[in-house]
Amino acid sequence: MTTKAPSSVRPADAASPESIAYSAVEGIPTLEPHDLDRLGYCVWIWLTTRRDSLEQAIKNANARLTISQEEATRRIRERLQQLGVSL
């Protein structure tokens, strides 16, 4: 058993690609929280590489969405535009 307190965590800057990606997928209904984490990770990869389309990045996440993939893409695209990402 350890007696030390856990290390403190410094949140990422709000303008960082990580924060933008995870903010963009916030509120997308999924079956489990880890599905949302994978979705945010794939959007982050898309933001940093721009190799494929956003639609392909969302499909690659293989997240178990409770809405259609098209609806999720629309919501994520709108949120990214609100956050200042040029699409």
Using alpha carbons only, how large is the chain's radius of gyration in Å? 15
- Mean pLDDT across the stretch 25-51? 94
Residues 6+ apart with CB under 8 A from 64: 30, 31, 32, 35
Instruction: Give the 3-state secondary structure percentages of the chain, helix then strand then coil, rounded to 5.
Output: 55, 0, 45
pLDDT at 1 over 70: no
Q: Give the pLDDT mean for 27-39.
A: 94
In the chain, where the domains are located? 17-82
* pLDDT > 70? residue 11: yes
Cβ within 8 Å of residue 11, ≥6 positions away: 19
Q: What's the mean per-residue pLDDT of the chain?
A: 92
Of residues 55 and 14, the one with the higher pLDDT is: 55
Could you give phi then psi for residue 12, rounded to 5 degrees? -70, 155
